[in-house]
Structure 1
């Protein structure tokens, strides 16, 4: 890792007028399988701080896992969202999936004050438990709404989940409020992109190769940051061995003018 950035409150002043949003599927903080699997949550904690984002949207975040806590000597004593939050950040987590050994879901970390948050189950069938996390954040005194998503693996499910997201936005987000929808969309085609554009959500389009998956040799962009009411100005994917060792996805960083 390179040198850690300055304190969150200092960085907030430096980035005045710019909203920096990152999304990252952290693969539950563990890489590999069986006896060869390794704990990456400690490295991810350093990585999240290096993203230097005002809002960090995380997927596949564990609240607890009893089996892994017994297997790894250095398993954190607090939930992963809380562990990953840099000093001065607030963490919001909600569960999407309950498993035999624990639970996992989406999280949002932010250096700005959290006004409120909600969760909605958007599961499309019983084999995949999915949800959205909605957080309202006060950025430079201005309400900004952020929705963290992790869509399903089945194409038809993703279409129906986007329709659920649209209905949620119409019900819960004021039409004139800045809105960010970010996460792992599990889709590299154009249908989801067109659906989101149909209700005013767009992403930065001048970096056509913002590939995030698979991390070791990225060939597709599964992760996206869409916005409404903000102007996209950049999109960046950190690369290198240090990043692809921590998760099967690479993080995606987007910047917007407030």
Structure 2
């Protein structure tokens, strides 16, 4: 994270709420950060500094982020403490690498997906998966070396329209078949925007599964009173161990989504 002054973590960030890292366990988090700003109009507030503290407290080996701003000239003028570096770089804890790719270009700037990792990055690429001109979407593919093994991670943010999501999952399937060897571990994480089970079933059809959360609540949206799980971490070639959703006022104030944490055995 950048050296910009931030306050100490509030009590809501108690580390005891999250399990400590264990040998042989890969910890992956996904979080839609709502561009680092909450609220509308003059009442909107800058949350990127709190999000920096939050990402550290997730204590994940790999953090997949959506709605990350590379720049926004209007917000930079409006907020006195707007970071002087892109959000992905600002949010990366000390010792982490950050990888970012733009999905959407707007009048005032651009935003997209990012990945933060404490493991070395081998290479990365971006692919446009926009389904129509009203929604600019993309996937970020990052290869990371974890304990001597190449692990592929794809960060996605699917569309709002059901038909778009179906076509985007089909495009994702073609991308995986082309770019990811079948014998190498694969993680696909992000905001899937799916209120049902259709996307989950499609992903299972080509070997991607999530921890069975049928007996536990892993709801992530809306953050204040979550009723659905829009955020997921699917894997191939890793053993899912469990899911966690941090809760509390400090979390729902930072974004309209809650983060999701998944653990896997290497």
Tell me how far apart the structure 2 counterparts of residues 132 and 150 of structure 1 sit (CA, whole Å): 7
Deviations 1:206-232 (A, max 9, x none): 354200000000000000000000010
1:170 corresponding residue in structure 2: 177
Tell me how far apart the structure 2 counterparts of residues 252 and 175 of structure 1 sit (CA, whole Å): 26
Give yes or no for contact 1:23–1:183 (8 Å, CA) kept in 2: yes
Equivalent residue in structure 2 for 1:66, among 48, 73, 88: 73
Tell me how far apart the structure 1 counterparts of residues 253 and 190 of structure 2 sit (CA, whole Å): 20
Q: Secondary structure at the match of 2:190?
A: strand
2:3 corresponding residue in structure 1: none
Q: How many residues align?
A: 251
Equivalent residue in structure 2 for 1:231, among 214, 234, 239: 239
Equivalent residue in structure 2 for 1:51, among 58, 61, 65: 58
Q: Secondary structure at the match of 2:134?
A: coil
Tell me how far apart the structure 1 counterparts of residues 129 and 216 of structure 2 sit (CA, whole Å): 29
User: Are positions 1:92 and 2:99 aligned together?
Assistant: yes
Q: Secondary structure at the match of 1:45?
A: helix
2:136 corresponding residue in structure 1: 129
Note the C-alpha offset of 1:188: 1.9
Equivalent residue in structure 2 for 1:254, among 252, 255, 262: 262
Tell me how far apart the structure 1 counterparts of residues 167 and 85 of structure 2 sit (CA, whole Å): 34
Equivalent residue in structure 1 for 2:251, among 221, 232, 243: 243
Give yes or no for contact 1:212–1:237 (8 Å, CA) kept in 2: yes
Q: Secondary structure at the match of 1:146?
A: strand
Tell me how far apart the structure 2 counterparts of residues 20 and 4 of structure 1 sit (CA, whole Å): 18
Give yes or no for contact 1:203–1:227 (8 Å, CA) kept in 2: yes
Tell me how far apart the structure 2 counterparts of residues 197 and 165 of structure 1 sit (CA, whole Å): 13
Q: Secondary structure at the match of 1:129?
A: coil
1:212 corresponding residue in structure 2: 220
Give yes or no for contact 1:4–1:49 (8 Å, CA) kept in 2: no
Deviations 1:233-252 (A, max 9, x none): 01000000000000000000
Tell me how far apart the structure 2 counterparts of residues 16 and 124 of structure 1 sit (CA, whole Å): 41
Distance 1:208 1:193, change over 3 A: farther
Q: Structure 2 length normalisation: TM-score?
A: 0.92
Distance 1:162 1:208, change over 3 A: farther
Note the C-alpha offset of 1:4: 7.7
- Counting only pairs closer than 5 Å after superposition, residues 108-123 of structure 1 correspond to structure 2 as 108-123=115-130
Give yes or no for contact 1:146–1:179 (8 Å, CA) kept in 2: yes
Deviations 1:66-105 (A, max 9, x none): 0000000000000000000000000000000000000000
Gaps of 5+ in 1: 6-10
Q: Secondary structure at the match of 2:229?
A: coil
Tell me how far apart the structure 1 counterparts of residues 179 and 209 of structure 2 sit (CA, whole Å): 19
Tell me how far apart the structure 1 counterparts of residues 136 and 163 of structure 2 sit (CA, whole Å): 15
User: Are positions 1:156 and 2:163 aligned together?
Assistant: yes
User: Are positions 1:104 and 2:111 aligned together?
Assistant: yes
Equivalent residue in structure 2 for 1:190, among 197, 200, 203: 197
User: Are positions 1:22 and 2:29 aligned together?
Assistant: yes
Q: Structure 1 length normalisation: TM-score?
A: 0.95
Deviations 1:168-202 (A, max 9, x none): 00000010110000000000211100000000000
